[in-house]
């Protein structure tokens, strides 16, 4: 069944498994990757942060608040004097990540089988019941989920966010369906979608770019839209017995808590911070959004929660996604027994993310150009060039872009416009290449390269063109340069290997 498209799989689960129709209200959220962000570092930060929160939360669970700061400082400064182990939060995240990597796609049947096959530390009641249903009672995986609003669905959703940070539709489908495997409940599904959306949104934010309360409120308003309309059932707050759902807690109560500078103690009393999705995820969000630029403060505050390991895991996932791995104090990363495993998984997820064209910041910048009528002559030239490129009229597009630069040379410095010019020249060069007009292809690719000397696609195109001209020396030079500037670019590696193979056989 894994070969079904996400949309077909979704329809199947709604029809055959009575999964909540969570795509019915699909408010679009613009997840916009940008070229200046190091996405490998962000993905590493998210997964390593998740494991740090889980491991520290488990190790310090049950400690008194006054002792936490002292113990936490001790753990941080004593390098490698103690190694901390992960629990179910990280273990199930790893299982989900490994399935995505192995199949290069979302395979819920394989994910389900991993959940029943591999040992899980500190297993919750919902997961235990799911395993009983699927493994012992032999229920189909899509009929084994439990009607539970526990936080087990949200705690493991990070990998689907990290391969869809520019593709909100795929993110929402995957995060909702991965939740339904074990938690066939509206709030649990909403919690997974909300947490995944938050992770992806933060991955696209430069570190330390959230400057004040206004930015935080805007973030809450944006994220709330991801779960609007999903919850139609009635849920009760365990602390106050009021009728509330995750959407109202985030869109209204979380925003009020930030605006009024509520204390941790107040929010714990009002919301709780246990294993209920209505408690743990909102509390983790509150902890992070109070001090988004302070990794250590987020960790220490999250350790005050009742469900310490899961709240800390979710809060530090957000901190790591926002700040990146290189901004996590190394005293914390040194304590992870499975640090190397988390880094390796992160790198594989990064490579998988590159296969989704919507995660490509260059392509997304092009697609977000406004379609408004352009009055200025220079703007009209730009729009016409973009339009012709989309229509694959590359030769005409290049003529318009050349006129644009002639009339306004300063536009050469505009990164967004440069991307469009490069795309037009690259399209023209590719067309010449297909027609075996290699010298004209060479001219087009070199003009594209003049706008970005480190553009991996153009460097690879030049290597292929020189290969067709039997100039192996230049072909190898450009291929090596491609691999140097973008080692994750698979086509570049394949071109270099092909050139080296030809050189050896000559």
Q: Which residue, chain included where needed, has tokens 């090596």?
A: 480
Yes or no: say if 328 and 76 are a contact pair by the CB < 8 Å rule: no
Spatial distance between the Cα atoms of 159 and 34, rounded to a whole number of angstroms: 20
Is 309 one of the annotated binding-site residues? yes
Rounded Cα distance, 104 and 238, in Å:
40
Instruction: Please state, in angstroms and rounded to a whole number, the distance separating the CA atoms of residues 405 and 380.
Output: 13
| Token pair recorded at residue 41 | 């570092």
Give one word for 421, left, alpha or beta, with left for phi > 0 and alpha for psi -120 to 50: alpha
90 has binding-site annotation: no
Q: What is the DSSP letter of 115?
A: H
88 is in an annotated binding site: yes
**89 labelled ligand-binding:** yes
Q: Which residue has the tokens 């613009």?
A: 30
**SS3 assignment, position 54:** helix
Residue keyed to tokens 């020249």: 425
Consecutive H or E run containing 40: helix 39-60
User: Which residues, 6 or more positions from 198, have their beta carbon under 8 angstroms from its beta carbon?
Assistant: 223, 285, 318
**Angstrom distance (rounded) from CA 237 to CA 476:** 64
Confirm or deny that 87 is annotated as ligand binding. Answer: yes
310 is in an annotated binding site: yes
CA 289/CA 309 separation, integer angstroms? 18
Q: How far apart are CA 344 and CA 33, in angstroms?
A: 22
Q: For 263, left (φ over 0), alpha (ψ -120 to 50), or beta?
A: beta
Q: CB-based contacts of 248: which residues, under 8 Å, 6+ apart?
A: none
d(CA 215, CA 229): 24
Paired tokens of 374: 């352009």
Residue 280, number of CB atoms within 10 A of its CB: 28
State the binding site for Mg(2+).
87-89, 307, 309-310
State the binding site.
87-89, 307, 309-310
């Amino acid at each position: 069944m894994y070969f079904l498209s996400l949309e077909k799989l979704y329809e199947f689960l709604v029809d055959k498994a009575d999964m909540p129709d969570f795509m019915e209200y699909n408010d679009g959220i613009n997840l916009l990757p940008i070229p200046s962000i190091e996405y490998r570092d962000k993905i590493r930060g998210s997964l390593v942060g998740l494991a740090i929160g889980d491991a520290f939360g488990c190790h310090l669970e049950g400690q008194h608040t006054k002792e936490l700061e002292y113990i936490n400082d001790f753990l941080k400064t004593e390098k490698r004097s103690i190694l901390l182990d992960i629990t179910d939060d990280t273990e199930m995240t790893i299982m989900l990540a490994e399935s995505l990597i192995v199949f290069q796609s979302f395979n819920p049947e394989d994910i389900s089988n991993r959940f029943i096959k591999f040992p899980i530390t500190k297993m919750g009641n919902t997961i235990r019941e799911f395993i009983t249903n699927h493994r012992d009672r032999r229920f189909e995986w899509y009929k084994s989920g439990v009607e539970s609003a526990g936080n087990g669905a949200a705690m493991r959703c990070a990998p689907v966010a990290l391969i869809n940070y520019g593709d909100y539709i795929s993110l929402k489908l995957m995060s909702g369906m991965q939740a339904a495997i074990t938690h066939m409940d509206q709030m649990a599904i909403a919690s997974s979608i909300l947490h995944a959306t938050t992770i992806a949104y933060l991955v696209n934010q430069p570190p330390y770019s959230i400057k004040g309360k206004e930015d935080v409120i805007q973030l809450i308003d944006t994220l709330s839209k991801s779960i609007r309309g999903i919850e139609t059932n009635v849920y009760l707050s365990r602390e106050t017995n009021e009728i509330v759902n995750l959407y109202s807690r985030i869109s209204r109560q979380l925003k009020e808590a930030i605006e009024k500078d509520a204390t941790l103690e107040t929010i714990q009393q009002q919301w709780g911070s246990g294993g209920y999705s209505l408690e743990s995820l909102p509390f983790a969000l509150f902890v992070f959004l109070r001090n988004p630029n302070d990794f250590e403060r987020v960790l220490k505050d999250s350790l005050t929660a009742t469900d310490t390991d899961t709240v800390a895991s979710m809060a530090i996932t957000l901190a790591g996604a926002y700040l990146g791995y290189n901004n996590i104090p190394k005293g914390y990363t040194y304590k992870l027994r499975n640090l190397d495993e988390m880094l390796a998984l992160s790198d594989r997820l990064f490579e998988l993310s590159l296969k989704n064209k919507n995660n490509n910041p260059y392509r997304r910048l092009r697609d977000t150009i406004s379609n408004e009528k352009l009055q200025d002559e220079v703007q009209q030239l730009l729009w016409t060039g973009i339009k012709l490129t989309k229509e694959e009229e590359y030769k005409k597009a290049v003529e318009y872009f050349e006129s644009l630069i002639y009339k306004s040379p300063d536009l050469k410095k505009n990164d967004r416009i440069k991307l469009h010019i490069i795309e037009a020249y690259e399209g023209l060069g590719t067309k010449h290449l297909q027609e075996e007009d290699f010298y004209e292809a060479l001219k087009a690719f070199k003009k594209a390269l003049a706008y970005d000397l480190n553009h991996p696609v153009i460097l690879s195109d030049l290597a292929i063109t020189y290969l067709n001209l039997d100039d192996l020396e230049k072909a190898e030079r450009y291929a090596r340069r491609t691999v140097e500037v973008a080692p994750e670019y698979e086509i570049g590696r394949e071109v270099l290997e092909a050139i080296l193979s030809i050189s050896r056989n000559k």
